[in-house]
Amino acid sequence: MADSSSSSGSSSSGSLGRNTLIMTGGTILSRLTGLLRVLALGLALGQVQGNAVGDAYLVANTAPNIIFELLLGGILSATLIPVFVERMTRADEVLVDESALTRRERRSANKARQGGDPGIGAILSATMAAALVASILVVIFAPVVIGIYTASDSDPTIGDERAVAIRLLMLFAPQVFGYGFIAMAKALLHANRRFPAPMYAPVLNNLVVIGALLTFGVYAASTTDVGILRGDTTGLLILGVGTTAGVLVEALTLIIVVKRANIPWSWHWEPRHPAVKQVLKLSGWTLGFVIANQIAAAVVVNLSRSGAGGEDADGLASAYFFAQMLFMLPHSVIAVSVMSALLPDFSSFWTTQELDRMRAALSRGLRLLLALILPAAVGYTLLSEPIVYLLDPRWSQAAPALAGLALGLPGFSTFLLLTRVFNAMQDTKTIFWLYVLENGLNIILGIWLHHLYGLFGLGLSYGLAYTISAVVAVMILRRRIGSIFDRKMMVFGGRVLVSCAVMVAGLLAIMAVVAPNGFDPESASRMATGVVVIGGVFAGAVFYVAAARLVGMTALDEIFASIRSRRS
């Protein structure tokens, strides 16, 4: 076993680097177009702080995502890929003694190996039926959903805002059905190690929504009074149908990719199939932690809508949303790519009980993740204010929230990577308790720190909750697969911290020379702010990479080697 593991280490390492690089390109495009989508939202809806139309749109458009996660999304992400990989791995084991199989048995095993066995077909059919029912429920319970997420708002225009949000949510309801198709297609593609398309498809979604928002902007001629929009059916249709069309285009794109990859997408209506029962068995605990997530999300949304720490309450919900979007950028570009590449391997190693290889894969993934996430967190913390002012000065209140969130970025990404290991083990009970801990901490710390520091405290509580929970997850995993914090990991930790310290010292030294009295983006020109951000990112990267080379940190070599191999 040890020999096998060691012999495959180099190739696995290179494969992780290549897959991460490929997915990173798609994620960067997706997040950049997502940023353009937010800026288009500002242009179309007059998204200044305190704007009720923007808040109504954001709450309504977030609701389908939350409802999908509550009813299906968390369940699917936690169970589908491990279950699919397990069934395909079993098919591989059948094909080992291929000479003993009949032609029909070989054909059936090959089909199952790719995801076309009746069990996977039964899961696909049952899931899409559930997604259809969920979409209908969104329409029926739209007033209740919007009421929950605006419960703490006492603004005079809240009646009009709720009415607009309810009508938009009804138009957004088909998104839940579309998300079902997206989840199914992504699971099939990832289980078959087809990683690029799921990362690039959201670009089309964003482009469609940008088009819809700009169309609305032209139609509304910058008149975004929520009372007027409440009675404007045409305007609501442009926003509602256009935004939903983006999700459906993404779903259709992924379905086409699945078909062109010759991955079977079979419909098999058998709700009592053992594979469906397996998913449902795993789903009980998963539903629990999804509910816990949404309770915490509702608390955070309501906290963000109220001023604290000397803040003006107007537009705080939108500002926190903007900070969250920026916070998720490095996580989505780096951590999601690493996690997506590793989950099929985790599932395969757990199925075959190759724990040494599973531990090695986790250690390798964690080193790669932290080598990229830690400097990103440092950069966000130092440059949060100029970044926000560069993108849009009207979002100034998002800067402290971004700084608070950035401090917890490494813990957040590490926690989610560790939960993928439990997903591979199909141990949703442990994930449930970890999320109960994380959400409980998030609520308690959020109420306390928000009272003291406003949006900065709210962002800080988010990261602290995930960081503490990540430490607990490491302790639990140590008993399952052994410790990943061996001498190699500890040496890596020291090197990455030294590299980050050099990066901080270098950036502070440059700022002391260039702006000895400090830099105020509020009074500086947009061009000067852009120079600070771009120059800071470039200088920080140079300091970090140079320091990493000097201290002998090799975790970045996989990415550099993959870039060189793709160019050659």
Alpha-carbon torsion angle 514, 516, 521, 525, nearest 10: -50
Classify residue 484 by its DSSP letter: S
C-alpha 419/C-alpha 177 separation (Å) is: 26
The gap between the terminal CA atoms of the chain, to the nearest Å, is: 34
List of residues 6+ apart from 486 with CB closer than 8 A = 363
Return the pLDDT at 152. Answer: 64
Question: Ramachandran region of residue 51, left (φ > 0), alpha (ψ -120 to 50) or beta?
Answer: beta
pTM for this model (two decimals): 0.74
H or E stretch including 224?
none
pLDDT at residue 362 in the model: 92
Q: What is the pLDDT of residue 115?
A: 46
pLDDT tens, 497-543?
999 999 999 999 998 888 777 778 778 888 888 899 999 999 999 99
CB proximity list for 79: less than 8 A, separation 6 or greater: 279, 282, 283, 286, 423, 426, 428
* The pair of three-digit structure tokens given for residue 336, joined into one six-digit string: 């999601």
Under 8 Å between Cβ of 253 and 201: yes
Distance CA 80, CA 379 (A): 35
Please tell me the predicted confidence (pLDDT) of residue 267.
Answer: 78
Predicted confidence at residue 282, as pLDDT, reads: 73
d(CA 105, CA 292): 45
5 within 8 A of 307, measured Cβ to Cβ: no
**How far apart (Å, rounded) are the C-alpha atoms in residues 276 and 51?**
45
Q: What pLDDT digit, counting tens, does each position of 82-125 carry?
A: 788 777 766 554 444 545 445 555 555 555 554 456 788 888 88
Residue 162 near residue 229 (C-beta atoms within 8 A): no
| Burial class for 78, CB neighbours closer than 10 Å (0-12, 13-18, 19+) | buried
**Dihedral sign, Cα of residue 493, residue 498, residue 503, residue 505:** positive
d(CA 180, CA 23): 21
Burial of 533 (0-12, 13-18, 19+ CB in 10 A): buried
Question: Which helix (H) or strand (E) is 500 found in, with range?
Answer: helix 487-514
How far apart are the C-alpha atoms of 247 and 177, rounded to whole Å? Answer: 9
Quote the Cα angle for 116-120-122, to 5°: 115
Q: What tokens does 101 get?
A: 């199989």
What are 464's two structure tokens?
Answer: 């602290």
pLDDT < 50: residue spans in the chain: 1-11, 47-50, 93-96, 98, 100-101, 114-115, 309-310, 312, 566-568
| String of DSSP letters for 409-478 | HHHHHHHHHHHHHHHHTT-HHHHHHHHHHHHHHHHHHHHHHHHHHTHHHHHHHHHHHHHHHHHHHHHHHH
CA distance linking residue 449 with residue 443, whole number of Å: 10
Domain boundaries, the chain: 10-298
